[in-house]
Structure 1
């Protein structure tokens, strides 16, 4: 009896614990009943039917009191279909990611909605695709507010039903759509042209490396890619015509340095550049090199690198540039004898440069094209006002706080305000600042992003008509993308190739129509688009004022020679 009684006791205890656990589960059922009853729905963001309410911020229409174009429309979500504006989209795919709220809204046509809960500075973004074509995005803030982002208008989403079938039944029987393109016929002949400036690394005998520069001319007619051309140096379109921009070696009283030069191509008679390698020995202790990182219509961003020699001599970019204050000229005007002297001097330099060099400093500068001799550069506040000053101060405070360095202070705010440039990230141009923690190059310099949108006088056009994530899904090895204002072609870069895709239904076509070899390590520093009749005039100017070469399209069929 005792054994039976003990067994009964343990069985009773086990049943009691089980009942308690089950009762605990049952208490949680009402809160998550829909998830348990429909396990497939929990994988669908925003499952059910929603109504688009008033925009959380001013519409892009800019008209006070005007109703946003899609206010009052309903959107229905299911695992495989989506209903919007009485249109049915099939083969739906969702992509959810957590992003920085400030970076997300930086390249939108209107600013950050005031009533958006910024929380910890992050939001959830759900991108919706139909048959692998981008449709639109939805965001959710820290408090759970859901906002639809459609054609650069924002709409607060209010849930009206957990069901999807009702909105599906009321949808019209129109043909299924692949995108939300506005109605209307496209231009019968879309013509786009792109001047793509690149910086190309080259090896040097001293092991420090250097750069050369070039420009690609890429054009299309009705999404059909025409012959692609290439020329040395940067060929820059400006309001007053075309300019050439390049880096050359100039000799001053302190030695040889990199110097930026620019001239308008209509100036037929250029002046001969003075001081080119006149004294080869000057280069022994003078190491000031410039790398162009961005070129716009009116401004150029550069990275200045200063080296010091073992004997302690240091030459900064400001001193060296002041010593080499020679006039801007066309390189074509340099005589053959001078060209030969330059080549001879370059050969001698490798033999007589015997002082080991160490990196002294790397700084960023932004210069006006009309005054490249302004070696001081301009301040961030000159570009974007006091917002620029505050953005830089806040960013520096954050980066120093997280750096682990103690007692670091910025001694010269005015000089620090000049230490900025533009850099490329996720298909857009962003401001970047830099700080030298100890001011002497002994500690590694630190770069930081600035939450500011470059003004239109610095970046005239910076729009992607194909989402970055869509492009990366299709081409994981791609590192950059540029899309035409005509929305007809996309120019995509990998580390070794340029790919050109037609744009169809807000996405890339299945296959590229052109593929070109790109020198390893090349980086884009300029992208200027021309449309319509400008395509013809730009191409004529490019050919007339440059020594061009045809770039082979690797997708063209090989024609065997007889």
Structure 2
């Protein structure tokens, strides 16, 4: 029974592994192919000590894990009797202090590496982050899986060749069949929602509220729906949260977007203080403010406010609308700007967007310039009235239409001395690095026939459920071929003006794992 539990645990965690280390400028990194025999951790190891567990029942976990064998080879990795075939090994050398700084919840708080630098090896399964191994000494490793960390002691340089030949045996066939069966009947989705803060005042922290719903089904039955504050989403390095903060100083106010791995969520203040200490900055007493400081290089001689609204959240990028307004310190002139931006999550809270050439190469440049010129001609904008022309390649973002994500650009201009902003369509599909999954299995016309008031819709990779957005509700439908079921399975009331900015799907064994992490991170039953 314990073996089965570990097997299920392993199958469910590929996208939810421990937080990745902070990149170092002098880090060495390489990928080792499955055929490469020179794997530094090759051999048979044993879990000799439990450093930290994700479960509240620590004693039971220790009993279950202690003594388990772990084997690494070019053809497989095994934990107990569970096998991962054809793993890839990504190797990186990082500063030990920096690693602990950005992995503060995946190791004990008093842990210290014996050496200044540490070798970090991540095990990748079919381009998915699987687990992480730290080389402490020649015969000692730390093995990390989803908030659990263990000491491994080396038993032998050799691996069990019998296990290596088990990939075609009946047991593994049964495992693959079970995984395939589960993936057809288990579906889950994280739905990110944005609504306007109706209690907004001049000193309010946020102009918009964000929340995430967890909706799942098994055997065609909808499970209880969960909810969490802010945007909760998966990445290769685990699960992350996005929230907004406002910084105010010297007649300037700016809203920032912060992204944190949930394993570090409870230690943001500590992380910031450590980071400032590493830069030899003086730390004031009682400094527990984790709000970013204003970037005055972006403000220059201007005062006023900058607001940001999240329009889309993906695995590595978000789309944001940035509105600025104010006046210049010298003189009486006002300034105003309205941007659409694609921001890399790893670059937050920095508000600098990417250029379209960064995600779509020269094709993107040609397309946005052509669409920009057509929009100017259509709007009959005179060249002297066009503002921020130099930001052409950066002033673009995402919009949702007819059940799909599209790219659009924005022009800032003046007309009769009044500031204006106009959007235009870019005739390009967002690249996979920005939008990983955007398939609508039920044609939009069929959705509108069934739900005339539908504003948007999302369908699962399993083709079993659809999420339909209306002005006031989220409707969950079964899918039959190219059509929705006759009646919705569930109706969820929305807040006024609430809209979807994210949909991240899980299938098969991932569903149970995602739900567990969602609950551990604060997810509660929807009222």
Asked if these proteins are the same fold (TM beyond 0.5), I'd say yes
Residue equivalent to 1:230: 227
**For 1:437, which of 403, 413, 419 is the aligned residue?**
413
The number of residue pairs the alignment matches comes to: 320
Residue equivalent to 1:517: 493
Residue 438 of structure 1, CA deviation: 4.2
| Contact 1:481/1:492 (<8 A) preserved | yes
Once structures 1 and 2 are overlaid, which stretch shifts more, 243-252 or 468-477? 243-252
Matches of residues 158-557 of structure 1 in structure 2 within 5 Å?
Answer: 187=181, 190-203=185-198, 204-206=200-202, 210-267=207-264, 269-271=267-269, 274=289, 286-308=304-326, 360-408=336-384, 414-438=390-414, 442-546=418-522, 548-552=523-527
Q: TM-score, normalised by structure 2?
A: 0.56
Q: TM-score, normalised by structure 1?
A: 0.53
Residue 278 of structure 1, CA deviation: 11
Residue 416 of structure 1, CA deviation: 1.4
Q: Distance in 1 between matches of 2:449 and 2:521?
A: 40
Residue 411 of structure 1, CA deviation: 7.1
Residue 265 of structure 1, CA deviation: 1.2
| Contact 1:305/1:359 (<8 A) preserved | no
| Contact 1:361/1:440 (<8 A) preserved | no
Q: Distance in 1 between matches of 2:447 and 2:225?
A: 23
Q: Distance in 2 between matches of 1:415 and 1:448?
A: 15
SS in 2 for 1:286: strand
- Larger-Rg structure: 1
- In 2 relative to 1, CA 466–303 (structure 1 residues): closer, same or farther, beyond 3 Å? same
SS in 1 for 2:216: strand
- In 2 relative to 1, CA 433–207 (structure 1 residues): closer, same or farther, beyond 3 Å? farther
1:473-510 residue CA offsets vs partner (Å, 9 max, x unmatched)? 11111101000000000001111111000001221011
| Contact 1:198/1:522 (<8 A) preserved | yes
Once structures 1 and 2 are overlaid, which stretch shifts more, 250-259 or 192-201? 250-259
Once structures 1 and 2 are overlaid, which stretch shifts more, 519-528 or 357-366? 357-366
- In 2 relative to 1, CA 469–504 (structure 1 residues): closer, same or farther, beyond 3 Å? same
* Structure 1 consecutive aligned stretches of length 4 or more whose deviation exceeds 4 Å: 186-189, 206-209, 275-279, 408-414, 438-441
Residue 252 of structure 1, CA deviation: 4.0
SS in 2 for 1:290: strand
1:420-463 residue CA offsets vs partner (Å, 9 max, x unmatched)? 11110000000010011249983411100101111111100000
1:494-535 residue CA offsets vs partner (Å, 9 max, x unmatched)? 111110000012210111111111111011111100100110
| Contact 2:396/2:407 (<8 A) preserved | yes
| Contact 2:450/2:486 (<8 A) preserved | no
| Contact 1:251/1:277 (<8 A) preserved | no
Q: Distance in 1 between matches of 2:389 and 2:334?
A: 26
| Contact 1:250/1:275 (<8 A) preserved | no
| Contact 1:410/1:416 (<8 A) preserved | no
SS in 2 for 1:417: coil
Residue 378 of structure 1, CA deviation: 0.5
- In 2 relative to 1, CA 515–245 (structure 1 residues): closer, same or farther, beyond 3 Å? same
Q: Which has the higher strand share?
A: 2
SS in 2 for 1:476: coil
- In 2 relative to 1, CA 459–276 (structure 1 residues): closer, same or farther, beyond 3 Å? closer
Residue 237 of structure 1, CA deviation: 0.3
1:83-107 residue CA offsets vs partner (Å, 9 max, x unmatched)? xxxxxxxxxxxxxxxxxxxxxxxxx
Q: Distance in 2 between matches of 1:439 and 1:387?
A: 31
Which of structures 1 and 2 has the larger relative contact order (alpha carbons within 8 angstroms, sep 6+)?
A: 2
SS in 2 for 1:458: coil
Q: Distance in 2 between matches of 1:447 and 1:278?
A: 31
| Contact 1:434/1:447 (<8 A) preserved | yes
1:360-404 residue CA offsets vs partner (Å, 9 max, x unmatched)? 221111111001143221101111011111111111111111112
| Contact 1:360/1:441 (<8 A) preserved | no
| Contact 2:259/2:349 (<8 A) preserved | no
| Contact 2:321/2:339 (<8 A) preserved | yes
- In 2 relative to 1, CA 408–241 (structure 1 residues): closer, same or farther, beyond 3 Å? same
Residue equivalent to 1:69: none
Q: Distance in 2 between matches of 1:392 and 1:386?
A: 10
Gaps of 5+ in 1: 1-185, 280-284, 315-356, 553-562
Residue 251 of structure 1, CA deviation: 3.2
SS in 2 for 1:297: coil
Please tell me the root mean square deviation across aligned C-alpha atoms, in Å: 3.2
